[in-house]
Every structure is written in structure tokens, then in C-alpha cells.
Structure 1
């Protein structure tokens, strides 16, 4: 039996189709609403989101970079057509610690990478890169992270300005600390990069700056002294080496204007600064001229300083390991004003001028230290051209006579010798003048200007009594005599009281010192050892004191100022004398 069909069964396919179409329409509307929300977010925040709609309700998702942007994005999404309600699913980008940003350059390609805090910051940095490097292709690979240091865009832009002067290199910001590295294409760009690095904004710490100059295969250095200025040209390996070389130049040539044309190039030999300094020292031996450095060979040309020639210039500079000096183009200097000069003051002997060889120099110094014991000897002599005939004889004899003066000066010029100064007393002045004239070698012209006061005369009465002397004057005078005998003690042979020949210079120095304080009387105390403490040692010490006093009287000192006394000593056998004010 046939069952009647239900009428509604035929409607099922239509219902399914209607549900399908309705679902599709709902999905379309939801996608449109989500798209409108994303568009609103992009317009406000600068970045699209990934919003989700459920019916007319929208969940707004994505990154916002401040609270003002968040409020504006939610309001814009809510005002989109068809949106009923907006749920806040926005958040800040994740934090980055340390906060790192990089800009690397290789020729005309610049890559930005690392963290950036916002679309505005990202855009401003990319624009700064295009302005600083207009011919470069800018590739921006940065990502959003929060936690950027203060003024991050300004710091990144300043780093790009340095990178613009490098042909290859990198600028890196790490929590506001900048590191720079790379090479410049030429010296001008290298100097510009260094200058730009010095202009970094406040608050940017420069952690590292390895801005290298361009490389060159051939290094050279030239220094020229024209008598008014010193010009430096060529290459040097680094800014530190350049500063050191300029300091050396100012020390060697203090009176010349400095014209610095040095260029910094990387790849310099390890010893480039050392060899350049050696070349400068060589040039300092010339009155004017130039030195050229090629590798380890320094070629010197010009006129030597007064009294010097090519040989003495080379010897004055000395030998530097690995260096070769070519001085064949050096011409002799002018005749010096003084071949040698020795000036004696109350406290020092100053030697200036020239010597011909090291042996002569050593003999002059040895004589100076022996004859002027107790004085500071300052040696300002330099190696010079060949000395005049009999130079050493004249120099040593002149120093011996100068030592007898209280103060004075001895000079040699060619074959002319002169001696001037104060002998302290007239008799000694005549002896020194006579001795100086007789000592000078044959063929030397001699000039003397030695003076001295008249011989001291005893007071009228009583002969054995000296008027009291103010303590300060007496102490100062005693100190002068004590300094003389301490510097050059008067020594005696064992158990003898006779003065040795070499004691004459000390006696003259004592007499000169005593003549400066004519109102002061002294005890002259002779010493002997106390090994045998009896009358024989006391007698020996008195005889030594009397011998010194007699020598001082012969040198012009008033005998009534001197009282010989005996004194035993625990210091050393054969000790000399001491002076004490009365």
C-alpha cells in the first residue's frame, strides 16, 4: 500500500541551500567588518592589525605604541559602518633587552636591522638613511620592540651620518651606546668621518670607534725646514701616531711654525711612527733642509748647523736599528760663534759648543768634574765638525785656569781663546792671567779680562782679636767653605801634614769664598784619626790645620781671620779640615 509523501520533505534541500547562503553572507559581512577595523587601526597606528568579527562585534588586535594611539584606534574601529561593539585586544610590542639596532654598509647597499620602537621612528630613520646616503639602496629589516633608549631616532640618525663617510662599515646602537667601525674611501672622507663622530649628540656614549683610513701600498714621509716653518707631508698610520709625531716636531723645532699636511692611511708598516720620528731628529741637526723617508731609508739634504758637517750630523743622530741614513747631500754649517764655551757661576759650570770626537768629549767632561767638584756640571756640548788644532790642550788648560776664579767664562773660537771673571783678589787675578796666557797652544790669540780685589790687610789692633760677626752672615760664609771642602776634601798622606799639589785648586776656591765675607773669622780644624789617641795625633792635626791656614794666607786671606786648631776624627784616616766661625 502506498504511503502518501510528506509535503515538507521537498523543502529540505531548499532549507539547506538557504542556510549555506546565509552562512556565506555572514562570513562576508564579518570579514568586511574585520577589514574595516584593521583599516581604522592602520590609519591611526600606522600598522594594520588582525581583527576578528563575530556578527557585528569586532575584536581589535595588533600593536599600538602609546595610549593615545590605543584610544584613537578603538574609536575609529567603532565608527566603522556595521560595527556594533569593539573589544580591545591591542598591546605594545614585546620588550627588547638589550635594545639593539644596526646599520651596515657595503658599497652602495645599506641594511637596517634590529629593533625599532614605532612606525614613526622607523620611517624617520629610513628617510635619514636616504638623505645621508642618496645613492645607496636602503633595505629596512627592522622589527618593532619596546624599550628603546631616549631620543632613539636622533641617535640612529647621527650614526648614519658617520656611516655616510665610510665605503664599508657598521654603526651599532646598544642601549644608547654607539660602536662604529669601517674604512673610508679616501683621506678626505676619513677626516670627515672622524669630525662627524666628534659631533655626536649629548647622551650618546661612544663605546668604540674604529674608523680606519684608506689603505695604500706605498708609504712615504717628507719633512722640510725652510728656517721659518716646518712642513710635514706623507702618510702616517693612525691619529694617535700623528699626534705623537706632531708633539715630537714641536719639541725639536720649538721656534718654527708647523704646517701639518700628513695623511692617515691604514696598512702602515708597524715602525712607521718610529722611522718618521728618527727622520725628524735627523732634520733637527740641519740649519735648514729636508728629510725624505722611503721605507727604512732617511735621505737628508741641506745645510748643517753651525760647526757641523755631514759626518758630525750622522754621528750626532746615532744609529737606529733597521734604519739607514743618507747624509751625502748635507753641506757644512757656518763657523760657530764659539767652538767651546765654559761658564762658571757660584753653583754650576755650564759647557756649550762643540767637540770633535767622543774621546775629546769625555776628557773635557772628566776635567770639568775634577776641577769643578762641588758644582753642578751641565753639558750642552754637541758633536761638531773637525775641531781646530790643539783644541783639547787649549780646552783643558782653559778649564784649569777658570777653576781658580770665583766666577767667570772661558771661550774658544777657531784659534782665539779668552778668559774673564772675578778671581776674588788682585794677586790671584794676575796669576790666573799669566797662567792662562802661558798655557794656550802656540798660534792661539789670547784675551783676558780677569779682575780681583786688593789683598786683605790686617786690622790696626789688636791683631789676634776679630770683632763679633752677626750669626746669619757667619753661618752663610761657613756654609760656603764647608760646601767646598765637602765637594773636594783636602787629603793628606798618612802621618803627613804637607798639602798635595792637587789641593791648590781647592785652596783657591776656599780663598775666593772667604773673600766674600771679609768680616768673618774662622777656626781651621785639622783632622787625624783617633787610632792612637795621644799627643802625636793632636800635633799632626794641628800641623795640618796650620798648613791649610798658611795656604789661605798665601792666597790673600788675612791671617788674623784664621785660627788653626787640632781635632781628632772618628771618620776616616788622613781626613782633611773643617771650618767653623768664631
Structure 2
């Protein structure tokens, strides 16, 4: 017995290397096998659409977990893993991607980014929408908070792509899709943007409907600045169309009789109702200011500047307050320019002559009604008259030779009196003014051309000391 133990103590240490060799051999065999099986299973899934896919191996047994987008897709993926060469057993831990009820998707834009939220039906669709959002952001940041969900309506991809195109037209705002219902809100980036979005929404895929479109247009801005030092009146902003554009520029040329009009206007949709009438009225008010600015923002008229005398300031404020179209409002900050220094009558006469060289008092054809376009010139004449309070002024009316002498005589007298009445309403004493008519007896140009006749139809101021 004692010999047996002596013998066993000699042989068992020889087993240790054998065990180590066996373990190493088993490891070197199992690890490559598991890697190969995992690779084979992964290759079998290369054409399968799954999310959160994970395959682990324990010997020849695989644990397969993933989220599939349909039951058929889940079963097909499981079958492909089970059929991979060398696989003995597959432990199925697959499931379906959660279903969204309702299926909601959104895109929201602010100053710095476009944020995508809600659900996307497939990874490829999710990637395409993120790329479309980057294009809509114009280089801005894109925050992708979309999750993958089942339950998307048919043609979701096309609808969402079209809605992302509209996000690019917003300064800020949001588009939201809930199943097949669509809601939009925000501020359009440019004038006409709201209309462009509405037009684009008519191309939504069949079955989708817009339940709310609360996209607003940016303010419709029309602006005019009068600079008497440079002798320039500058127009910027928007007008509804070329016809209104031409009419306003032509009106400005008549109203601002001694200034150059710089036209930077652009035609755009979105003008409020009554824009043309309001802008024309406001231009008349601005023309009566020595310096000032006019801003029309939607239905609000903002006028600021200096009137030439106190009564003119009152008339301008009252005119804008009462004569604008319905639902329009006025905000006026009209002050009175400090009175110019007094001058002797001879200087006053020269002031009148200089003004009449630049413009003329206009009347309705064949009548003694003063054209509103003459208000600016009349105010300048009043200002000049106020500078020589000791001088009397003869207001002389003249006509062309068309018609009979008696009619022309009467018309010239009535027009001269209309001007005198206007001046009295501005505060000039009536005893300083005398209205006379000369008919067609004192032409300053031939009456055989339209141009000559226009020159002969005139009002003159003559200072009487």
C-alpha cells in the first residue's frame, strides 16, 4: 500500500499539462467558432431591416435580439439566423418596434435650429428626413429627436418631405402631422411665403388634409424718407403690383414737386386691403412736412417729421386720423419746424418766384377745385408769406385760350379766389390777400401746343408793398 502512494505521487503531476493543453485547445476551437457563427448570422441579415440588432454566441447556440418593423419581417429575420451554417439553437429575443397611436411627427424651426420630433417608420426614412431638415435649415443646426415606430400612414415619407420644404419658408414655426391630419403655425420668412406654403400644400399625397394653417405673413412694409438737404425722397419696401407701383411713383413726382424720387420698391403679394388709397393719402401728408419719414406696416401708418407751420401740423394729423380706409390706424409724431427769419417784401417776392419755377398749383380740369397734389407747394407758399407779414399779396389767376373769353375770365377769378381762401384757412389775414383773374389775356407761352397751354394755366403771387 505504501508503494502505491509512492507511485501515484509520481504520476498525477503529469496530468496538469494535459489539462492545460485541453483547455487551450477547447478555447482555441470555441472562440473562433463563436465568432464565425456570429458573422454568419450577421451576414444572413444583411438585407433585413431591423433596429437594435444584437447577436451573441455560446458555442453553437446564438441569442438573437432585435426590433422588427413587421411580424413578417421579424419571423423572416429569425429564420435567416436559424439557417446560418453551424448554428444549433437560436434563443429568440426579438420583438416588434413599438406602435404609435396616433402616429405623430413634427418639425419645428427657431432662430438657430430645426428640431425633428415624433416618430419615423423606418431607419432609412428617418435618415432622409434628417437630411431634408438640414437642407431646410440652410446650414443651421438640426436636432433629431425622432424615434422609430410602427403605424405610419401610407405615403408618410412624401408628406413629411413636402412639409420640411415648407419649414424652409418659415422664419420660425412648426409643422405637425398626426396620422393624416396636418397643422402648421409660425411666421413666413418673406412676403409671399404664406401664399407659397398654401399653394404647396395642395400637392400633399392623397389622403392627407390640412386641418390648421396658422402661418402668418411678415409685416407688409412700405417706407418713404424725405431728405430736404439732399433734395431726395427715397422709397423702399413693397407694393402690390406694377400698376400701383407706377401710380404711387407718379403721385410722388407731383406731390414732392421740388425733390428727386429714388424708387427702390418691389412688387409683392400680401398687401392689406385699401393699401393704394392709404399710401397715396400718407404720401400727401409726408409731402407737407419739411423733413420726415413714412412707414406703413400692414394697416398702420406711422408718420413723423416737421410741419412748416402750426395749422398745417393740425391738418396733417386730422387728415390721417379721419381719411384712412376702414380698419386702418394712424400714429403721427408731427411737430412744427421753428419759424424762419423775417424778410423784406422783395425777398418774399423772390421766394414766391423760386417756388413757382419748381411747381405749380393744380386744379381739377375746368374747375376751381384745388388738386390735393398741390398741398406741399401751397404750404411752402404759406411759409414764405409768413416771413413777410407786412406785405400784401395779389393772387393772379390765368388760363389758356381754349373756350370763350368770359368763361376763361370767370374761371381764372374763381381759381385765384380758391387759393386765397386756402391761405386764409392757414392763418393768413384776409386783408393781406387780393384775388384777381386775367383769363387768357396774359399768356407766357404760345397757345398752339398742349405744353404752351399748360404753362399758361397758372397762379402767380405778386407782392404789393
Question: Per the shorter chain, which TM-score range?
Answer: 0.3 to 0.5
TM-score computed with the length of structure 1 as normaliser: 0.39
Structure with bigger helix share is: 2
